[in-house]
Amino acid sequence: MHSASLLLATFLYSLSVVAFYPYSIKKSTSGKDERHKRFYPLSPDIWDGSTDAPTLVIEKKPISKSIRDNKYIILKSDPPTVPSSLAVDQDGSDFSFVVTLLFGSSKTPLYMLLDTGASNTWLMSSDCTTSACNSHNTFGASDSKSFRPNSSATWDVTYGTGSVSGIGGTDSVSFAGYTLQDFGFGMATNASDDFNSYVMDGILGLGRDPDNQIGTPSIMSALKSRNLIQQNTIGVHFRRHAEKPADGVLTFGMINKDVLDGDLSYTTTVPGSTLWEIPAGGFGVDGKPAPLQPNTTVIVDTGTSWILLPPTDAAALHGMIPGSKQNGASYQVPCDSSAVVQFTFSDVTYNVSSKDYVGAKGANSALCASNIVGHQAFGPNTWLLGDVFLKNVYTVFDFGDGNGKEGRIGFGKVKAVPTASTSTSTSTSAGEAATAKASGSGSRTAASTTASTASPSQSGGSQQGMGLGNGAGLVGVPRMMAVSSMLAGCVGIGMLMA
């Protein structure tokens, strides 16, 4: 394994959370970087402030929850009232975001981790006897009269410190008002003990790559080929566990206007990349740009919770946050920091408020952990933005049409919750608020409601012209979209390669 990944794994093991770090770099014989996804489960060590090691403490708050037959607790979101949508639930720590899919003739519910980093879909098989499978919900022949196993279609996936392997399977799967007959997926007949740490029963692959290691069409390919969606898109809205309403939602084939406030600003994916990878426009703090390296790109992944920046960029960013302190790949920041971190795409700038990038406080320290990590997940000019950024923007992943229309990612402002008084500060702006009432008809028919490229908003949120690129200074002084998220460890699985 790449030495940098081992160093990051050591850092992650010092944290007090259970989460995923999904990526590492492997050098191919051709000399090019092959991209692999990996995870590192995090051990519950506690930072008492006596050392520089940070901690991210999970605080379970009173909230609606569903206690499963096994040991895991899922915090439930409200049922969506828009068509073609699934409620996005989570584990209560803002680490793992899952949706419920119903498999087979018995419609067995399984919690599937959302992962835009890969197109593989697999679930734990009832034939699996490992500790991890025994502690999760599973699926197999006894659960469905229509299930067909394919023992000759073997597969295996290694995620650094953990692994799964199994055979192929075919059955119906129902979700969001759709039912896919004869859908192929992986049946994990072996799962390492690492999976005891995670709530999900399987992975829902939502990546761009049409190929996957399991050898079955992705769920988006199946929807598109069967003409069940008018737009080849998914829309994602995550909600922090402590926020109300609990309106996390995944929408297929349409733009969720109950969540989106205004238009989307789209950025086309990088040519030749099979990831959700887009060019960066800039980054900085409080309207001041940090130096942007040429040809910097950004991978946007629902399966990752932290922000991971190459060491040079992480150092530049934290150097603009007063009172920050570096400790290897990790940083600490003042617990009362009010600096606003910013990222720009296609001339629209989005904020990450201090309540999101400021992590847990050490018991004997005046500093808190920073939820922005200095680690080169890919090349020296590639960032990894996960749920820390996505949690309070509405994000649309557009797969394109395969006939010349390229993939793209659209970000938009989330509707504010109507309250007696709405904050207008940069750290608690309308962009952080939850959506207003849902007004969907409940019909499954996917509407064609593609939004246009965003124009400057007259009511706050995002605006074009920030100019945080290349350290060249501000082109304009826009109103910012506050991206509020309770950051955590890197969550995700995907991009699976042998």
The yes-or-no answer on residue 143 being catalytic is: no
| Whole-number Å distance between alpha carbons of 75 and 64 | 6
The Cα 7–Cα 11 span in angstroms is: 6
Q: In the annotation, is 194 catalytic?
A: no
Structure tokens at 492: 């995700």
Which of 52, 94, 115, 261 is catalytic? The answer is: 115
Which of helix, strand or coil describes residue 158?
strand
**Is residue 368 helix, strand or coil?**
strand
- The Cα 32–Cα 362 span in angstroms is 41
Phi, psi of 233 (to 5 degrees): -140, 160
Classify residue 33 as exposed, middle or buried by CB count within 10 Å of its CB (0-12, 13-18, 19+).
middle
What are the structure tokens assigned to 145, written together?
A: 């009269």
d(C-alpha 152, C-alpha 166), whole Å: 10
Q: Which two tokens stand for residue 333?
A: 């920041």
Answer for the pair 174, 99: CB distance below 8 angstroms, yes or no. Answer: no
Among 126, 117, 211, 194, residue whose Cα is nearest residue 166: 126
Residue of 47, 38, 26 whose CA lies nearest to 194: 38
Residue identified by tokens 């400021």 is 358
The amino acid occupying position 126 is S
d(CA 388, CA 488): 7
Evaluated on CA atoms 448, 454, 457, 463, the torsion sign reads: positive
Catalytic residue among 171, 301, 347, 356: 301
d(CA 261, CA 238): 15
Q: Give yes or no for a contact between 160 and 24, defined as CB atoms under 8 angstroms apart.
A: yes
Report the candidate in 98, 94, 97 with the shortest Cα–Cα distance to residue 360.
Answer: 94
Catalytic residues: 115, 301
